[in-house]
């Protein structure tokens, strides 16, 4: 049995979808949720999903081993970023080499980098009259959105689409592909 931890900073639709996808899985278990903000809806979702949820602040993340210690204590094998918006610190990268995965709501390398997250991405895609957007699932390194790409899926952006419309299309792709891609990554690297 491989254990995954889900890191999140916001609403948590991806956390919910991943947790539901693996609920009955015999080989992969969602062990816990880690958040870097208080008062975010994902905390409520974790409670409803009966998943332990741990909060760490900036100091904990970047100046201590508290998060790494928790991952080791709970014997977490993979860290899955599900709308988590901080860079991953070196101590986690070193101990989870090729075992930290992120989803980005655009076709990287376009629309990546600092400040390009969530709705900002969809606003930029619409402002630039792109005809398509999509999702990128990738390994995490020390820079934003630049690790090796594992999987991409595309959707059309119509001339009259708003950023909200695009966000809706992206969420559908995330729901369809993120859990199953995580499953592949974990099982193939067993």
Measured from the CB atom, the residue of 65 and 86 that comes closer to ligand GAR is: 86
Active site members: 104
CB of 13 to ligand GAR, least distance (A): 3
User: By the 8 A CB rule, do 46 and 15 touch?
Assistant: yes
- Scored b (16 or more CB within 10 A) or e, 14-31 reads bbbbbbebbeeeeebebb
CB of 166 to ligand GAR, least distance (A): 10
Q: Which residue number has the CB closest to ligand GAR? A: 83
Measured from the CB atom, the residue of 105 and 179 that comes closer to ligand GAR is: 105
Measured from the CB atom, the residue of 1 and 172 that comes closer to ligand GAR is: 172
What does the alpha-carbon distance between residue 49 and residue 177 come to, in Å, rounded to a whole number?
21
Measured from the CB atom, the residue of 11 and 95 that comes closer to ligand GAR is: 11
Radius of gyration over alpha carbons of the chain, in Å?
16
User: By the 8 A CB rule, do 45 and 83 touch?
Assistant: no
Per DSSP, the residues of 58-88 read HHHHHHSSHHHHHHHHTT--EEEESS--SPP
Q: Write out the residues near ligand GAR by the rule CB under 6 A.
A: 8, 10-14, 82-83, 103-105, 117-118, 170, 174
CB of 73 to ligand GAR, least distance (A): 25
CB of 122 to ligand GAR, least distance (A): 9
């Amino acid at each position: 049995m491989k254990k995954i931890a889900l890191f999140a900073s916001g609403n948590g639709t991806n956390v919910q979808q991943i947790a539901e996808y693996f609920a009955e899985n015999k080989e992969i278990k969602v062990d816990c949720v880690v958040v870097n903000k208080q008062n975010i809806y994902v905390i409520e979702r974790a409670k409803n999903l009966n998943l332990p949820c741990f909060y760490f602040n900036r100091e904990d993340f970047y100046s201590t081993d508290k998060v790494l210690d928790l991952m080791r204590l709970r014997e977490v094998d993979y860290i899955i970023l599900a709308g988590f918006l901080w860079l991953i610190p070196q101590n986690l990268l070193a101990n989870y080499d090729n075992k930290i995965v992120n989803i980005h709501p655009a076709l990287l390398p376009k629309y990546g980098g600092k400040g390009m997250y969530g709705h900002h991405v969809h606003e930029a895609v619409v402002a630039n009259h792109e005809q398509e957007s999509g999702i990128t699932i990738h390994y995490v390194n020390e820079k934003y959105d630049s690790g090796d790409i594992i999987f991409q899926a595309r959707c059309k952006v119509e001339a009259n689409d708003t950023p909200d419309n695009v966000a809706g299309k992206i969420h559908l792709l995330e729901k369809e592909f993120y859990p199953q891609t995580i499953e592949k990554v974990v099982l193939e690297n067993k």
